[in-house]
Amino acid sequence: MKLGVTLPQIEIGRDPKPIRAFAETAETLGYDYLMVYDHVLGADMEIHKDWRPRKGQPPIYTKDDLFHEPLVLYGYLAAVTTRIELATGVVILPQRQTALLAKQAAEIDVLSGGRLRLGLGTGWNELEYEALGMNFKDRGLRSEEQIDVLRLLWTQESVTFRGKWHTLNGVGINPLPDQRPIPIWLGGAADAVLERVARKADGWYAPSSLDEASLEDHIARLRRHAEAAGRDPATVGIEGIIRLRGQPVEACRPALDMWRRLGASRVTFNTESPIMWNRLGGNAPDTKNKGMSFAERADIIGRFKELAHRV
């Protein structure tokens, strides 16, 4: 089971020095991959006081939460690391232009020596879609065609493709990525997402909101969908997440045990404070992020790595 760690971008700030130091520390500690999230825009909650985009719940982030743009960020981190995989979890695919995303991802893959893993999702923030000029309502179906176009552009020098949303008439990107194609992982809990993962993706990001029984059910359905698609279920990766949530590192042992029982191929450790993630429970947004010092965080990710090897 490979181990990754999330860059605490909401708390780490805008200074590139601690960002670089965190990535270098994770690589030195032997983590297999680094994970970053994607949001282009956050809502001003003074204007959108009554906005409840998540099944009647408020957004889990706002304009006051700092998100570094993952593709630009990985262009920087590709130059200061040598081994660690660079993963996104997830880039909101349907709000981005497909050919441009293919070009940007290929560039990161080239600059990093083939270390990009592109996690993709459809998102929930219609305000973000609106501002970026993309259709929120057709995002699921459109993302399927986008995945096809991404892989064509990464593997063929000249692409001709006519779909519902894309027309490519004898065009190609240069340079092509080192990985052909770049691995694509998808996130989401709906059965339509599981079926899409089974047909089109290299792996599935399991939502942290699910308990063990629900995860077992989702994984069983994912494997059935893979078999129906003619794939060996063992070739579809499963990635779990463990959030520190302010507890001692040793308290993560049961979660590590659970992901091993479930057969996860990867587990990501997230050290960010529980404030943003508490919003998943429906609490009102709180923009006063109380992070930890770099030394504290480096110590914590080191102790988690040791714990994972003992479990």
Between CA 225 and CA 300 the distance in angstroms is 38
What's the CATH number where 108 sits?
3.20.20.30
The residues pairing with 91 across neighbouring beta strands, listed in sequence order, are 120
Q: Count of domains in the chain?
A: 1
Q: Given this model, what pLDDT does residue 278 score? A: 52
Strand, coil or helix: 186: strand
Structure tokens that stand for 114 in this block: 């083939």
Torsion sign, CA atoms 34, 26, 255, 278? negative
Residue with tokens 């700030």: 13
How many Cβ atoms from other residues are within 10 Å of residue 31's Cβ? Answer: 25
Q: Given this model, what pLDDT does residue 291 score? A: 67
Domain of residue 248 covers 2-310
Which amino acid type is present at position 131?
A
**198 burial level (CB within 10 Å; 0-12, 13-18, 19+):** buried
Rounded to 5 degrees, φ, ψ at 204 are -125, 130
Output the CA torsion 239→62→140→147 (10° steps): -60
Per-residue pLDDT of the chain (311 residues; tens, 9 = 90+): 999 999 998 899 999 999 999 999 999 999 999 999 999 999 999 999 999 998 899 998 999 999 999 999 999 999 999 999 999 999 999 999 999 999 999 999 999 999 999 999 999 999 999 999 999 999 999 999 999 999 999 999 999 999 999 999 999 999 999 999 999 999 999 999 999 999 999 999 999 889 999 999 999 999 999 999 999 999 999 999 999 988 899 999 999 999 999 999 999 999 987 555 455 444 434 444 456 889 999 999 999 999 999 87
Task: Say if residues 193 and 144 touch (Cβ distance below 8 Å).
Answer: no
Q: Given this model, what pLDDT does residue 30 score? A: 98
First to last CA, the chain: 11
Per-residue CA distances from 69 to 7, 38, 41, 111 (Å): 12, 6, 10, 17
Q: Given this model, what pLDDT does residue 213 score? A: 97
Identify which of 227, 132, 243, 147 has the alpha carbon closest to the alpha carbon of residue 186. Answer: 147
Q: What share of the chain is helix, strand, coil (3-state, %, to 5)?
A: 45, 15, 40
